[in-house]
Copies of this chain bind each other. A is one copy, B any other.
Amino acid sequence: MTKYVYDFAEGGRDLKDLLGGKGGNLAEMANLGLPVPPGFTITTDACRAYLRTGREPFGLADEIALHLEGLQRQAGRRLGDPADPLLVSVRSGAKFSMPGMMETILNVGLTDATVGGLAARARDERFAWDSYRRLIQMFGKTVRGMPGEVFEDALREAKTRAGTADDTGLDAAALRGLVQRYKDIFTAHTGEEFPQDAREQLDQAVRAVFDSWNAERAVLYRRQEHIPDSLGTAVNVVAMVFGNLGADSGTGVAFTRDPATGERGVYGDYLANAQGEDVVAGIRNTTPLQELEQRDKASYDELLNIMATLEEHYKDLCDIEFTIERGKLWMLQTRVGKRTAAAAFVIAGHLVDEGIIDLDEALTRVNGSQLAQLMFPAFDLSRGARPVAAGVPASPGAAVGAAVFDAHLAAEADTPVILVRRETNPDDLPGMIAARGILTSHGGKTSHAAVVARGMGKPCVCGADAIDVDLHKRQFTVDGHVVSEGDVISIDGTTGRVYLGQVPVQPSPAVRYFEGTLSPEADPLIRAVDRLLTHADKRRRLAVRANADTAEDAARARRFGAQGIGLCRTEHMFLGDRRTLVERLILARTPEQRDAALAELLPLQRDDFTGLFREMAGLPVTVRLIDPPLHEFLPPLEDLAVRVARAEERGEDPGHDRELLDAVHRMHEENPMLGLRGVRLGLVIPGLFAMQVRAVAEAAAQVPGARAEIMVPLVGAVQELEAVRDEAQRLLREIGVDARIGTMIEVPRAALTAGEIARAADFFSFGTNDLTQMGWGFSRDDVEGAFFTRYLELGIFGVSPFESIDRDGVGRLIRIAVAEGRAARPDLHIGVCGEHGGDPASIRFFHDAGLDYVSCSPFRVPVARLEAGRSAVSATGSDTR
């Protein structure tokens, strides 16, 4: 039979799946001999069974009774005993922390019959009635779903009657009266008496905690945090201890190190004569933990000892909650503590210095997302800029610009702008693309603005509800200020803060370090980053390359640690002035005209490649032959059609526009993503690929140490690759240059026939963007704004598959291609050059899938190095949550 209840003595942190984080850690502390109030944990199994069937599983009631016996024995009190009643807290505790999302009921066990016993034991009648009042209120709201206001109103009335503005102004008699009023309210709302059976209170409270797993806010939170709905919550039943029994009582929270900077020392807050909920409510100001030393040295020393024990045991920063009841210290909770990105690095470094963990372990204590955070530029707040509002930090980075309230205006602005809207919708896309940052007064992390901005890597603050946007007047008001269109504002997508005026932006120290302008010795954070990256480089199996199309990008990528270029997009070399050459290529009416246009492009491309090879001398440079449809180099159809129509209406000759319009019509595609592009272009337009291969080969011949790789895009069948490869090899031989020839795997069919394709490929490089687009059948440009918000809300995605690789679908294609490509050709070199190459969770997948390298944007190279190292030292599965 399934065991549904664990005493603390039976549990431990390894059982988090079953006991939740809180329950596992309480058991861990109990087993370390630390002073934990007696209690037990009801498992997530029980919760799942309850949620599945709608009732407690068979046997649970008996098990609770059994463990309650044990608890009563340890506590030396019994639930419902009028003379000396045991009170318990009933708290949720899921595997992953969901702060504030779920339910807690305190003081369970107080009834008309037991309130006197508590008063006698506490020698404090007011305290007993206040505790009873709190129980009824919490129970009514949480267990019976009553609106909170009805209790608040009664409390306010009682205070008015007593002539006090503060809860503490109510004496025992007033509180007794309030308890009666609360019970009446309870009966009026539920049609039942407030339960006077302590066990009945307990059972209802447990059920309420189970139910709270599916409360709307909890469901939404899980979706945002990618926590599976299937986990369920555990329930902790713990003997109550009280920090509000006088001056020798109190409650506090503490960290074993500074969670903001990672520095060593004791950090915490203490509040005398209070319960934990008072700290949360912020009614009174806390004092620094150190003051406890004066007040109660014995408890303080014991606490410091316990913190040392916990650090030694958990080998990491811990945060704890404790209560002192009349001079007796009780530990109520501990866990490995949250920390800032900077602190994570510093602490990991310190723990190594202190000999507590080794470097491998240290790598698992930081992650790529944290490193990425450290690389965003941040506001220089040293001159005291103060935020006027705070919203959801939806997409990190700092942005400064003129507030603009209209997307069209934003799209046309030629100075930096911040697009400000109540919320955004697909119509705003052009403005979002043009803006430096986006600020909305509505919506959260999955709102349209947030999703789109993250996709663009653009700073975004969402749901800053202190901001009152008036689109009509084109202004917003905040905190008494009026910000009109054109006024400069600054937004911090990392912290969610909004500033008036221009806050100076400072480059991140991490970037200065990578750029070589900041030495690791100068800064403890940078020292830690340097040390962990160096170790990651030593351990990782994945090589890290960069996607770069210019010599400048290549140089930066190399400074950031790239081991080559995994993707040079040659079509980027066809923009700007060279567009007219491409136009001539497209408009060519004879082979001679076409060849002439190609001949003019040749030296330009050759020079581009020469620059790349120079910067990357000694390292591989993968050149992708031209990919996009050629009509992308022509003006948009609608613009041309309108220009021609207008000219004709005016009786003018549209001239060249007419010729261009004809060409655009001729080449028009309904779905250019699925049209004449990539290898298809190369097979249909004679000389195009040959020109590019010649440019690569001639450039490589000029640069010592050049290591060219030629990559064919959009291959779906081995015959396509063979045709291009044959021609390329002839050219390479002619020029006397050696180069590997490989293919993108970005069409699903390429993955499905990878065994065949490997016969003609020296390497594979996954194009995960196209693979995602074709695997799911949606184009990134078209859908992110149109329905991803809705899909995230519906939980169809936990995260956009363009941000993080879709393991089940697209990932399966990758695994098939790796397995069958390698089976056909064991020395096949395999990498990825889609945008996922810089995403931490995806990098772990690529490591697990057995790839040889990832390639990402230069700025993401350090992140990829770190994640590749982390993947190598820790077991399969993502722990980047």
CB-CB < 8 A to A756: which residues of B? Answer: 808
Residue of B nearest to A649 (CB): B649
- A782 CB-CB contact with B under 8 Å: yes
Interchain CB contact under 8 A, B787 and A683: yes
In the assembled complex, A669 has its CB within 8 A of some CB on chain B: yes
A637, A797, A808 pick with most chain B CB within 10 angstroms: A808
Residues of B within 8 A of A719 (CB): 794-796
Q: Is A791 part of the contact surface with B, judged by Cβ < 8 Å?
A: yes
Q: Which residues of B have CB within 8 Å of A795? A: 719
Further pairs besides A674-B674, A676-B786, A752-B808: 17, Cβ < 8 Å: A638-B638, A646-B649, A670-B672, A670-B673, A671-B781, A671-B782, A676-B782, A683-B794, A684-B790, A719-B795, A720-B796, A746-B777, A748-B748, A748-B777, A748-B809, A749-B810, A774-B777
Please judge, given known A-B contacts A684-B786, A684-B787, A776-B747, whether A781 and B670 are in contact too, CB under 8 Å.
yes
- State the Cβ distance, A363 to closest chain B Cβ, in Å: 33
- Show 15 A/B contacts (Cβ-Cβ < 8 Å), sorted by A: A637-B637, A646-B649, A649-B650, A670-B672, A670-B673, A672-B782, A673-B674, A680-B783, A680-B786, A684-B790, A716-B775, A717-B796, A749-B776, A749-B809, A774-B777
Closest chain B CB from A781 CB (angstroms): 5
Nearest B residue to A647, CB-CB: B649
- In Å, the complex CA distance between A641 and B637 comes to 10
Query: Does A675 belong to the interface (CB within 8 Å)?
Result: yes
Is A806 part of the binding interface, using a Cβ–Cβ cutoff of 8 Å? yes
- The B-contacting residues of A in range 678-720, CB under 8 angstroms, are 680, 683-684, 714, 716-717, 719-720
The listed residue (B666, B671, B680, B810) touching A787 by CB distance below 8 A is: B680
CB-based contact B787/A676 at 8 Å? yes
A813 at the interface (CB under 8 A from B): yes
Q: Which of B648, B675, B748, B808 contacts A783 (CB 8 A)?
A: B675
Contact of A779 among B666, B669, B813 (CB under 8 A): B669
**B residues less than 8 Å from A777 (CB atoms):** 673-674, 714, 716, 746-749, 770, 774
Q: Which residues of chain B come closer than 8 Å to A776, judged between CB atoms?
A: 716, 747-749
Task: Say if the beta carbon of A495 comes within 8 Å of chain B.
Answer: no
Q: Mark A784-817, 1 if CB is under 8 A from B, else 0.
A: 0011001100111100000000101110110000
The answer to whether A669 touches B782, judged by C-beta atoms less than 8 angstroms apart, is: yes
A221 partner residues in chain B, CB cutoff 8 A: none
A477 to chain B, nearest CB (A): 28
The residue in chain B whose Cβ has the minimal distance to the Cβ of A770 is B777
Chain B CB within 8 A of A426 CB: yes
A645 CB–B CB distance under 8 Å = yes
A575 is an interface residue with CB less than 8 A from chain B = no
Query: Is B779 within 8 A of A670, CB to CB?
Result: yes
Report how far A714 CA is from B796 CA in the complex, Å: 14
Q: Tell me the complex Cα distance, A663–B92, Å.
A: 49
Residues of B within 8 A of A794 (CB): 683, 719, 723
Contact residues in B for A782 (Cβ distance below 8 Å) = 669-672, 674-676
CB of A312 closer than 8 Å to a CB of B? no
Q: How far is the CA of A732 from the CA of B227 in the complex (A)?
A: 33
Chain B CB within 8 A of A735 CB = no
Q: Return the 5 tightest CB-CB contacts between A and B, nearest first.
A: A749-B809, A649-B649, A674-B779, A747-B777, A671-B779
Is residue A773 within 8 Å, beta carbon to beta carbon, of the partner chain? yes
A861 to B615, CA, bound (A): 64
Name A752's contact: one of B642, B666, B773, B813 (CB within 8 Å).
B813
Kindly list chain B residues whose C-beta atoms are within 8 Å of the C-beta of A669.
Answer: 779, 782, 786
Residues of B within 8 A of A786 (CB): 669, 675-676, 680, 684
CB of A664, distance to nearest CB on chain B (Å): 10
Residue A778 lies at the interface, judged by CB distance under 8 Å to chain B? yes
Report the nearest B residue to A678, measured CB to CB: B777
Interface flag for A753 (CB, 8 Å): yes
Q: Mark A732-761, 1 if CB is under 8 A from B, else 0.
A: 000000000000001111001100100000
Tell me whether B716 and A809 are in contact (CB under 8 A): yes
Q: How far is the CA of A390 from the CA of B637 in the complex (A)?
A: 42
Q: Do residues A775 and B748 form an inter-chain contact, with CB atoms below 8 A?
A: yes
**Chain B residue with minimal CB distance to A781?**
B670
A848 at interface by CB-CB < 8 Å: no
Q: Answer yes or no: A353 CB below 8 A from chain B CBs.
A: no
Any B CB within 8 A of the CB of A427:
yes
Please indicate the chain B residues that have their CB under 8 angstroms from the CB of A783 in the complex. 674-676, 680
Residues on the B chain within 8 Å of A810, using CB:
749
* Interface set, chain A 619-678, CB cutoff 8 A to B: 637-638, 641-642, 645-646, 648-650, 666, 669-676
Shortest Cβ distance from A118 into chain B, in angstroms? 49
The CA-CA distance from A147 to B646 in the complex, in Å, is: 62
Q: With A and B bound together, what is the CA distance between A673 and B796 in angstroms? A: 20
**Cβ of A723: which chain B residues have Cβ within 8 Å of it?**
794, 796
CB distance from A407 to the nearest CB of B (A): 12
Contact across chains for A773 and B674 when beta carbons are under 8 A apart: yes
Identify the closest chain B residue to A780 (Cβ): B674
Residues of the B chain whose Cβ atoms lie less than 8 Å from the Cβ of A680: 778, 783, 786-787
| A683 partner residues in chain B, CB cutoff 8 A | 787, 790-791, 794, 796
- Contact indicator B674/A752 (Cβ below 8 Å): no
Enumerate chain B residues within 8 angstroms of A675, measured Cβ to Cβ. Answer: 778-779, 782-783, 786
Min CB gap A485→B, angstroms: 23
**1/0 contact string of A56-86 vs chain B (CB within 8 Å):** 0000000000000000000000000000000
Residues of B within 8 A of A720 (CB): 796
B674 engages A778 (CB within 8 Å): yes
Chain B nearest CB: distance from A348 CB in Å? Answer: 37
The answer to whether A674 touches B671, judged by C-beta atoms less than 8 angstroms apart, is yes
Closest to A676 in B: B786
- What CA separation (Å) do A781 and B756 show in the bound complex? 28
Nearest to A650 among chain B residues (CB) is: B649
Q: With both chains docked as a complex, state the minimum distance between the C-beta of A655 and any C-beta of chain B, in angstroms.
A: 17
> A712 to nearest B CB, angstroms?
13
Contacts of A753 in B (CB 8 A): 808-809, 812
A796 to B756, CA, bound (A): 13
Q: Considering the chains assembled together, what is the distance between the CA atoms of A808 and B646 in angstroms?
A: 51
A852 CA / B220 CA spacing, docked (Å): 41
**Which residues of chain B come closer than 8 Å to A716, judged between CB atoms?**
775-778, 809
Taking CB atoms, residues of chain B closer than 8 Å to A673 are 670-671, 674, 777
How far apart are the CA atoms of A652 and B648 in the complex, in Å?
16
- Chain B: which residue is nearest A425 at the CB level? B666
Chain B positions within 8 Å of A670 at CB level:
672-673, 779, 781-782
Which of A638, A719, A756, A773 gathers the greatest number of chain B CB atoms within 10 Å? A638
Bound together, the chains give a CA A427 to CA B684 distance in angstroms of 16
* Chain B: CB-nearest residue to A670: B781
Report how far A787 CA is from B779 CA in the complex, Å. 22
A649 to B775, CA, bound (A): 45
A642 to chain B, nearest CB (A): 4
Task: Please give, as numbers and ranges, the residues of chain B lying within 8 Å of A666 by CB-CB distance.
Answer: 426-427
A775 to B747, CA, bound (A): 7
Q: Please indicate the chain B residues that have their CB under 8 angstroms from the CB of A676 in the complex.
A: 782-783, 786-787
Query: Nearest Cβ in chain B — how far from A367, in angstroms?
Result: 27
- Whether the pair A775, B787 counts as a contact (CB closer than 8 A) is no
Chain B residues whose C-beta falls within 8 Å of the C-beta of A790 in the assembled complex: 683-684
CA distance A791 to B684 in the complex (A): 9
**Which of A669, A748, A770 has the most chain B CB within a 10 Å cutoff?**
A748
**Cα A808 to Cα B426 with chains together (Å):** 39
Chain B residue nearest to A749 (CB atoms) is B809
Task: Give the contacting residue for A672; candidates B426, B637, B671, B775; CB below 8 A.
Answer: B671
| Residue from B641, B787, B791 in contact with A638 in the complex, judged by beta carbons closer than 8 Å | B641
**Interface set, chain A 285-337, CB cutoff 8 A to B:** none
A473 to B787, CA, bound (A): 54
A221–B744 alpha-carbon span in the complex (Å):
32
In the assembled complex, the Cα of A776 lies from the Cα of B774 at a distance in Å of: 8
Residues of B close to A684: CB separation below 8 A: 786-787, 790
CB within 8 Å of B: which of A414-459?
A: 426-427
